[in-house]
Amino acid sequence: MKKIFHKDWSWLEHWANRVYTPMYNPLYHLGAIAVFLIWVLIISGIYLFIFYEISAKGAYSSVQYLTEDQWYLGGAIRSLHHYGADLLVIATILHLIHTFVTDRYRYWRWVAWVSGVLLLWLIWISGIFGYWMVWDARAQLVATLSAEMLDKVPIFGQPLSIALSSNSSLSNQFFYIVLFIHFSTPVVLFILLWIHVKRIAMARVNPPAGLSRAIVGFILLLSAVKPVELGLKADLGKLPVNIPFDWFYLFIYPPLKHISASSLWVIVIMSSIFVASLPWIGKKKRFPAAEVASLNCTGCEQCMMDCPYEAVYMAPKKNGLLEAKISDRNCASCGICVGACDYAAINLPHFAEEAMKQKVLRLSQELKASGMHPAIFTFVCERGVELKDILKHDKEMEWTRAISIPCIGMLMPSITTIPLQAGVQGVFIAGCQVGDCYYRFGNEWFAQRLKGIRRPVPERDFDYSRIKLAGFSVVEIEDFLISLNKFRDELGQGV
């Protein structure tokens, strides 16, 4: 079932790539977009706070001043804050779906997943209390419904519903508490965000500048076309009617019409626990962590610099020099560290480098012996197009042999020359989707190694024209075949 969702999602990314290009595809930057939106909310929130009056009498009129008298700036910033908050929920939910359907939430990623669920809670809590601050009819409805829920939680001295029972029972202290919650949640959010990306090396927390500008432009346009409105002032003596609803933040409240607040708490808590425990449900066998051959390790640190999940660290050897060590719980078994090491000092137990080289050599010799010309050796990332889909085209493509490897980042330039030395004319390397590598940096590091700007670099007489690197997601088999055939045509013209 998840495989189907994965393919559907990959098609979505495929079409988004056509529109935005992989560099600016928002579906590849959802976590970073969420971080960017948090900054937008903080900056716009500071401006709103300058004019906000923290009192039962003044809260509404200060928001009214911003919306109506200062519509050109205060009103626009209020809209930016409101739509930015809505977009944050959309970006975060899509980010959750992306990590789930693409199977990026288990094992070493569980910390990011569980803290992500808590982040989602915080966003909702902060947003709901943000609504209270406006103190219009919608705020009154949200506050009354929230009070019904919060009265079941013994954290407030007296039931909140008493504070909300009449206009006269409403104190300034109430607004201080609301403001405190609305302001303190972002602080906790940043602490959680730090935990969220702690096991992720060089986490991408900033979207490309062009994408950030487009997001701000989009929200400003939305704000101009449909500025955020202000309802009538809250009146606890009357029932609020005809309230515009915000499904992004208030979706949990409608069930209160049918079930009790306690039952709703049970449902919300149980579903959060269920989502948070997904990394341990239906767990498949995890591959063993990479291993270091201490004798071969020169302590150059390249494997540590290339590891996408902070799984490699350096420790002193007996002779005082450094050697690489692997943290088993962080290791993704992707093999990027293997590709970073030119000294055979690091290996994947389930996919040994030497065995891979032998297989490449054997298949290359077989290809040479077949007499096909030009012949191409193909490396395929097992997270991109599937080998079984390629093998379906065996008959019309006898001029190629392919092997699937855990990650393209496992390759170093010297491996790609094995087929060439065996007499094969070209090497085609198909990574997973460009811009969204499953192991984050596999495609990028290998491309840099080929260009000679990242170690291990190619030999001096390396023939680049005979090596082609491209990326394809699991649904892009057609694109893969077109690209491979085109490369063969190019090689054919050159020989």
Q: Enumerate binding residues for ligand HEM (CB under 6 A).
A: 31-32, 34-35, 92, 95-96, 99, 104-105, 109, 112-113, 116-117, 119-120, 123, 193, 196-197, 200, 203-205, 440
For residue 46, the minimal CB distance to ligand HEM (Å) is 19
Please classify residue 244 by burial: count the beta carbons closer than 10 Å to its beta carbon, then call 0-12 exposed, 13-18 middle and 19+ buried: exposed
For residue 32, the minimal CB distance to ligand HEM (Å) is 5
Longest Cα pair distance anywhere in the chain, in angstroms? 93
Pair 167, 235: CB distance under 8 Å: yes
Between 109 and 488, CB nearer to ligand HEM: 109
Tell me how far apart the alpha carbons of residues 109 and 99 are, in angstroms, rounded to a whole number: 10
What residue ranges in 163-274 does DSSP mark as E strands?
none
How far, CA to CA in Å, does 379 sit from each of 51, 359, 365? 60, 12, 15
Distance, C-alpha 42 to centroid of its chain: 21
Rounded to the nearest 5°, which phi and psi values hold at 367?
Answer: -65, -45
What residue ranges in 192-321 does DSSP mark as E strands?
291-292, 312-316
CA-nearest of 396, 388, 393 to 474 is 388
CA-nearest of 326, 356, 494 to 418 is 356
Between 75 and 207, CB nearer to ligand HEM: 207
Distance, C-alpha 460 to centroid of its chain: 38
For residue 136, the minimal CB distance to ligand HEM (Å) is 27
Between 90 and 177, CB nearer to ligand HEM: 90
For residue 407, the minimal CB distance to ligand HEM (Å) is 13
For residue 380, the minimal CB distance to ligand HEM (Å) is 20
Tell me how far apart the alpha carbons of residues 180 and 172 are, in angstroms, rounded to a whole number: 12
Please classify residue 93 by burial: count the beta carbons closer than 10 Å to its beta carbon, then call 0-12 exposed, 13-18 middle and 19+ buried: middle
For residue 31, the minimal CB distance to ligand HEM (Å) is 3
Between 195 and 361, CB nearer to ligand HEM: 195
Tell me how far apart the alpha carbons of residues 356 and 404 are, in angstroms, rounded to a whole number: 10
Between 407 and 467, CB nearer to ligand HEM: 407
Tell me how far apart the alpha carbons of residues 104 and 463 are, in angstroms, rounded to a whole number: 36
Tell me how far apart the alpha carbons of residues 455 and 56 are, in angstroms, rounded to a whole number: 64
Between 129 and 174, CB nearer to ligand HEM: 129
Rounded to the nearest 5°, which phi and psi values hold at 230?
Answer: -125, 130
Between 138 and 196, CB nearer to ligand HEM: 196
141: how many CB neighbours lie within 10 A of its CB? 20
Between 30 and 363, CB nearer to ligand HEM: 30
For residue 219, the minimal CB distance to ligand HEM (Å) is 17
Pair 23, 60: CB distance under 8 Å: no
196: how many CB neighbours lie within 10 A of its CB? 23
Pair 448, 38: CB distance under 8 Å: no
For residue 485, the minimal CB distance to ligand HEM (Å) is 32
Handedness of CA 73, 76, 79, 81 (dihedral sign): negative
For residue 207, the minimal CB distance to ligand HEM (Å) is 9
For residue 405, the minimal CB distance to ligand HEM (Å) is 19
Between 440 and 468, CB nearer to ligand HEM: 440
For residue 126, the minimal CB distance to ligand HEM (Å) is 10
Question: Residues 270, 257, 141, CA angle at the centre, nearest 5°?
Answer: 100
Between 27 and 34, CB nearer to ligand HEM: 34
Between 284 and 395, CB nearer to ligand HEM: 284
